[in-house]
Amino acid sequence: MAFWLDIADFALKAALIVIALGALVAFVALIAGRMRGGDAEGPRLTVRSLDERYDAMTDAINARLLDKKALKARAKARRREAKAAEKSGARVGQKRIFVLDFKGDLRARAVRRLAAEIDAVLAVARPQTDEVAIKIESPGGTVTGYGLAAAEVMRLTGRKVKVTACVDQVAASGGYLMACAADRILAAPFALVGSIGVVAQVPNLHRLLKRNDIDYEEITAGEYKRSVSVLGEITPQGREHFRGKLDATHEAFKRFVQERRPGLDIAKVGDGDVWLASEALGLGLVDALATSDEFLFSARGEARLYEIAAAQRKSLAQQLFGGFGGEARAMWDRVSTGFGGTGE
């Protein structure tokens, strides 16, 4: 018995030492951040010219294919073209396409970065001249998260900046709601779109508690303060009220899609089903079949292409302890009400 007590005592002391060291590291990181005067929570914006990337790819291939004489002639021709364009001022008024990338999870956590990127674009974009291409990849998620994402996209259209939503793999449910906020939707032939529906997943443990003689009391004020509960009993009245809320959200979803895409037969596609983009084109859910790379590559020469990305700065403490509670958040995601996805 004494042996096990010694082991437990050692384990407790080791745990206390680890916690103390972690707290010390977090404290030092906090002080260092304040001394730098920076905002550890603020986004870090990066801007990359896609034209330069395409040019670098072309130069790398030509370096292998062409001889020295041809390479010199090509470089000379490019310098002449650049000088002529600069002299004529052609590039001054040339269209610019700003490329944003949205990879959405169930809670649409990427919306914060999206908002920062849209802020940056709106600071420089020229209405009715420049364009934004948003690459969307999302199977759907919470109503509030994707409703906010759609509202952020509409900040651009509200300022007369054209928006193209590009779907390479999936933009279903909340992801499709977000895509509908754009002026047009391009999708790869085998991308999944649609799923105009709402789902709520709520596990209920009331019978398990009752079977084990465990009392659970949930005291609320207001008849419908909590009509559905994880631990409390779900009554027929509460269930019906909750279903009414889902139906109202579904109607709002369909109404938004119909307003953004007036030619769509919402009665035909608003049943929560999902389609391949090749099928969705005939239904009016997308405007054309094309990958995001195809769209951007074809825009070369007619527009200058810039990729805008906002990365969230993380403090040292967040990097060390940010993974804690991840499983709990994932569980909460699955019991939250949201725009129903593809079921994947």
Among residues 120, 115, 104, 109, the alpha carbon closest in space to that of 48 is found at 120
**Distance from C-alpha of 51 to C-alpha of 204, rounded to nearest angstrom:** 54
Q: Identify the active-site residue in 68, 69, 87, 225.
A: 225
Among residues 300, 341, 308, 287, the alpha carbon closest in space to that of 166 is found at 287
- Are the C-beta atoms of residues 194 and 213 closer than 8 Å to each other? no
Q: Work out the number of other CB atoms within 10 angstroms of the CB of residue 344.
A: 8
**227 annotated active-site:** no
The upper half-sphere exposure of residue 340, i.e. CA atoms within 13 Å in the direction of its Cβ, equals 19
Q: Identify the active-site residue in 173, 195, 227, 292.
A: 173
| Residues whose CB falls within 8 Å of the CB of residue 241, separated by 6 or more in sequence, listed in order | 224, 227
**173 annotated active-site:** yes
- Are the C-beta atoms of residues 179 and 165 closer than 8 Å to each other? yes
Q: Which residues are catalytic?
A: 173, 225
